[in-house]
């Protein structure tokens, strides 16, 4: 450990660990710490840790630490997540009433390098993949946690927003690997994915149908958007992620054009009434700028910020930079943000469903939450990729516990060998997940068997004459007696069981309805896009075929042969005139004339034969 300097009201220190340089500082009371970690030579990640004033040291219930990862990619968690969303102070440096610091310590990181106050000394060092970003973050966590036993006692929960969800799941796997290798000393409590860009394919497929359902888009816009979404699906399947990113940008433009410029972060707003898009400076911005500007000007912070917009650039490069003191003079907050998004275009559309499955398989708790008016990472799209998780599919495929007790009160004659439920004609034992309908309807008995009649007689023989008369005259008494008969009880319970199974089957069918609607929508898209293109191509091929057939038809070939004969005849006559005009000697004339007449007669014979064959 290097020297420690006390700078009121900050504590500043420098350290080296495994070749990585770290510079950190903090408030004198220890409630805040921040610093840089050189995760790679000339690549610096900035972090800021807040310790909760409500922190309770209880071994039975360790106080959590929440790591916040912003989206973009290239948006600043230290700036946006901290001052505009969950940090202790709002964008006007006033206390935030609903800060998450009341429930956990908060760790903000400007990741990847080039984001916020993080920076690279060489532009080629910005990361190009989610895995590279996760490796850098894992290096940072090693520097922060490995030397601090107090932090090691607290479970770390990785929370993410938007594209940050991809960072979160890749970091979760990278951190687990480092923990298992003994390189990272921390407890991973779980991963939480908020409005996360985990499966771009599923999300872009949901945009147009969602807007169509909201009456914000017509059929023309729906068809064009779905066609582009199909292109994206194909490009992702072929691993052409940069092409998919370009098509995604084209799709966003189509969505904006056919939805009156819908606000991608709140589909209730559009270009005419959105507090974001209504500003002239917002129009035409790149995606990362638009995302940052959205958060910095959103009205949801007015409860804490007095209703006025926040100039986050001025805040971060002014009083915050002055407070932190360790930010290099040549580093501007957000100055390298554009580099981050541009470098990651090859990974932007890559799905991370597999990584979520891996976390679940390793026993990591994964929470998925979503805002209902978001379009860019809408709930409809998130539900679609959640259904693709292996855990979701296995859960759907598992038979549900049977409601019937294992010990049946039914007589053995009406119980299936492998089930506690009564058997019915034509039915078979099955789980509640996939019920089989009876192949035949049960036949109503045409008569009462002697055994059944004996059972009823046994119930009646001990009754008095008055009781028997009451059964004949009192409908309620008769009904009560009827329900007490064992055979009736059995039939009623069979009816209840069948009703229950029918309801379960109906519920399962309803659960499959969204998937059926999705498949139906995809079929419709294929019919309106791919089928139309195939039909157009078929028409073009038919036209080419007709032209070829016309060109090589018998009549056309005879015509061409006749034209060749006429040409040879003209050449013979021209040669004859040359002889008469003494322009050619007799020897040359004979040779050329003989050759021309031979060609002529050959063509004439072929022409005559073809014509005769055609007539015959």
Three-class secondary structure of residue 37 per DSSP = strand
539-590 tens-digit pLDDT:
889 988 888 887 777 878 888 888 888 998 898 899 888 888 888 888 888 8
Statement: residue 209 has pLDDT above 60: yes
Residues whose CB falls within 8 Å of the CB of residue 382, separated by 6 or more in sequence, listed in order = 195, 196, 198, 202, 203, 368, 370
- What is the rounded distance in angstroms from the CA atom of residue 609 to the CA atom of residue 603? 10
Q: Return the CATH superfamily for domain 4-202+315-395.
A: Alpha/Beta hydrolase fold, catalytic domain (3.40.50.1820)
Specify the residue for token string 């990785």.
158
Average the pLDDT over each of 284-298, 468-482, 568-582 and give the range with the smallest value: 284-298
**What is the average pLDDT across 334-362?**
92
Average pLDDT, the chain: 80
Of the two residues 322 and 281, the one the predictor is more confident about is: 322
**Rounded to whole angstroms, what are the CA distances from 284 to 221, 248, 252, 259, 345?**
21, 16, 12, 17, 19
Calpha distance 194→174 (Å, rounded) = 20
CA–CA distances in Å: residue 494 to residues 228, 444, 491, 610: 53, 14, 5, 85
Sign of the C-alpha dihedral computed for residues 464, 469, 474 and 480 taken in this order: positive
pTM score above 0.95: no
Place of tokens 């580099």: 339
Least confident window among 12-21, 65-74, 261-270, 461-470: 12-21
Structure tokens at 316: 């971060």
pLDDT at residue 418, rounded to an integer:
39
Question: Residue 563 contacts by C-beta under 8 Å, 6 or more apart in sequence?
Answer: none
How many H helices and E strands in the chain?
21, 11
The full set of domain ranges for the chain reads 4-202+315-395, 208-288, 460-551, 553-615
Identify the DSSP state of 33. E
């Amino acid at each position: 450990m290097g020297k420690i300097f006390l700078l009121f009201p900050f504590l500043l220190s420098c350290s080296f660990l495994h070749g990585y340089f770290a510079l950190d500082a903090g408030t004198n009371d220890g409630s805040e710490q921040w610093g840089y970690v050189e995760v790679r030579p000339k690549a610096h990640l900035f972090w800021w840790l807040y310790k909760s004033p409500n922190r309770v040291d209880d071994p039975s219930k360790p106080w959590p630490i929440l790591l916040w990862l912003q989206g973009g990619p290239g948006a600043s968690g230290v700036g946006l997540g901290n001052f505009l969303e969950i940090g202790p102070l709002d964008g006007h440096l006033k206390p935030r009433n609903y800060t998450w610091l009341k429930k956990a310590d908060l760790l903000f990181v400007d990741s990847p390098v080039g984001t916020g106050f993080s920076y690279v000394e060489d532009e080629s060092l910005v990361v190009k993949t989610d895995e590279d970003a996760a490796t850098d973050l894992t290096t940072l966590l090693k520097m922060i946690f490995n030397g601090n036993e107090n932090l090691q006692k607290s479970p770390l929960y990785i929370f993410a927003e938007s594209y940050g969800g991809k960072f979160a799941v890749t970091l979760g796997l990278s951190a687990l690997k480092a923990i298992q290798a003994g390189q990272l000393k921390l407890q991973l409590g779980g991963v939480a994915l908020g409005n996360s860009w985990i499966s771009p394919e599923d999300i872009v497929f949901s945009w147009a149908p969602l807007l169509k359902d909201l009456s914000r888009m017509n059929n023309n816009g729906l068809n064009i958007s779905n066609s582009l979404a199909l292109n994206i699906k194909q490009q992702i399947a072929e691993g052409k992620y940069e092409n998919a990113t370009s098509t995604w940008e084209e799709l966003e433009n189509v969505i904006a054009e056919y939805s009156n410029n819908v606000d991608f972060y709140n589909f209730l707003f559009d270009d005419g009434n959105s507090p974001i898009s209504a500003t002239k400076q917002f129009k035409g911005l790149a995606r990362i700028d638009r995302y940052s500007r959205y958060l910095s000007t959103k009205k949801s912070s007015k409860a804490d910020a007095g209703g006025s917009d926040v100039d986050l650039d001025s805040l971060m490069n002014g009083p915050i930079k002055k407070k932190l003191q360790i930010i290099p003079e040549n580093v501007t907050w957000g100055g390298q943000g554009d580099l981050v998004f541009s470098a990651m275009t090859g990974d932007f559309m890559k799905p991370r469903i597999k990584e979520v499955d891996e976390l679940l398989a390793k026993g990591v708790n994964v929470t998925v939450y979503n805002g209902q008016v978001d379009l860019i990472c809408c709930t409809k799209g998130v539900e679609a990729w959640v259904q693709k998780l292996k855990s979701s599919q296995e859960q759907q495929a598992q038979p549900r516990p049977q409601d019937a007790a294992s010990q049946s009160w039914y007589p053995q004659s009406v119980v299936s060998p492998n089930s506690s439920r009564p058997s019915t004609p034509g039915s078979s034992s099955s789980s509640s997940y996939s019920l089989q309908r009876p192949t035949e309807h049960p036949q109503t008995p045409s008569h009462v068997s002697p055994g059944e009649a004996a059972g009823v007689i046994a119930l009646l023989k001990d009754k008095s004459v008055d009781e028997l008369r009451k059964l004949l005259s009192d409908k309620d008494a008769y009904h009560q007696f009827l329900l007490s008969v064992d055979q009736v009880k059995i039939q009623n319970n069979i009816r209840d069981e069948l009703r229950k199974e029918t309801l379960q089957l109906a519920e399962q069918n309803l659960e499959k309805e969204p998937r059926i609607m999705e498949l139906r929508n995809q079929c419709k898209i294929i019919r309106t896009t791919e089928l139309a293109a195939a039909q157009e191509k078929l028409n073009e091929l038919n036209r080419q075929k007709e032209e070829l057939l016309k060109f090589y038809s018998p009549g056309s070939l005879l015509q061409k042969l006749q034209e060749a004969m006429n040409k040879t005849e003209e050449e013979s006559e021209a040669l004859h005139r040359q002889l008469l005009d003494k322009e050619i000697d007799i020897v040359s004339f004979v040779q050329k004339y003989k050759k021309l007449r031979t060609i002529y007669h050959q063509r004439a014979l072929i022409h005559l034969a073809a014509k005769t064959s055609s007539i015959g």
